[in-house]
């Protein structure tokens, strides 16, 4: 039992470290040795966990998005009768956190989309799946907000969720370039507080 737990801990440590390094240095700028040295795991063990660096990156992508999905789900669950308020709270707190960390957090998905989408089907599928899972939670939030009469109904919740995720991902990239949360605030104000409202 202890060995299984240690294996899970090692795997979690690798994924956690992977998020930080891939976010900071990208896929091609991050070597396996750097990851392994950081968590003090031998190279052979890495291949037992993931099989390849490409598989590791794909699993890191899925690992990265899970806390954001969970957090958004929690905000929606805590905002009974005010789904739009839950969505707004999530975005406002995200903007504050990104500004607090000097724009370093950003989005691993956005970073890797440009780097890996054309060169790795494994990572492209992981990116697509993760973005769709994130979009699906937004779709649920928009569907609830529509039922509550808070946002427009001439477009489906899925359409609104796609528009939001597309715009937000673009705003995150511009934030990095401009070193400013202005693109995020504009996305929030023009879409959530304006275009999506009834």
pLDDT digits (tens, 9 = 90+) for 113-129: 888 888 999 999 999 99
Q: What is the tally of structural domains in the chain?
A: 1
Decide if 108 contacts 23 (C-beta within 8 A): yes
What CATH number did the domain enclosing 108 receive? 1.10.357.10
In terms of residue numbers, what domain contains 150?
54-195
Q: What would the two tokens of residue 20 be?
A: 């930080």
- Residue 84's Cβ-count burial label (10 Å; 0-12, 13-18, 19+) is buried
pLDDT tens for 178-191 read 999 999 999 999 99
51 to 32, 54, 55, 93, 111: CA distances (angstroms): 12, 8, 7, 37, 23
Quick check: is 103 in a domain? yes
Decide if 155 contacts 197 (C-beta within 8 A): no
- Predicted pLDDT at 1: 46
- Residue 80's Cβ-count burial label (10 Å; 0-12, 13-18, 19+) is exposed
Quick check: is 79 in a domain? yes
């Amino acid at each position: 039992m202890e060995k299984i737990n240690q294996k899970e801990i090692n795997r979690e440590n690798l994924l956690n470290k992977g998020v930080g390094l891939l976010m900071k240095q990208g896929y091609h700028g991050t070597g396996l040795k750097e990851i392994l040295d950081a968590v003090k795991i031998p190279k052979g063990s890495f291949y037992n966990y993931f099989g390849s660096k490409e598989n590791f990156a794909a699993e890191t992508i899925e690992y990265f998005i899970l806390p954001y999905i969970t957090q958004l789900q929690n905000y929606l669950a805590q905002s009974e009768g005010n789904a739009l308020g839950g969505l707004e709270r999530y975005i406002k707190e995200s903007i504050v956190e990104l500004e607090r960390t000097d724009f370093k957090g950003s989005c691993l998905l956005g970073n890797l989309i440009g780097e890996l989408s054309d060169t790795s089907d494994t990572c492209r599928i992981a990116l697509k799946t993760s973005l769709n899972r994130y979009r699906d939670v937004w779709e649920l939030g928009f569907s609830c907000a529509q039922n509550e009469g808070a946002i427009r109904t001439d477009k489906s919740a899925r359409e609104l969720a796609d528009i939001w995720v597309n715009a937000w991902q673009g705003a995150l990239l511009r934030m990095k370039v401009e070193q400013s949360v202005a693109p995020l605030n504009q996305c929030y104000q023009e879409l959530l507080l304006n275009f999506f409202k009834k």
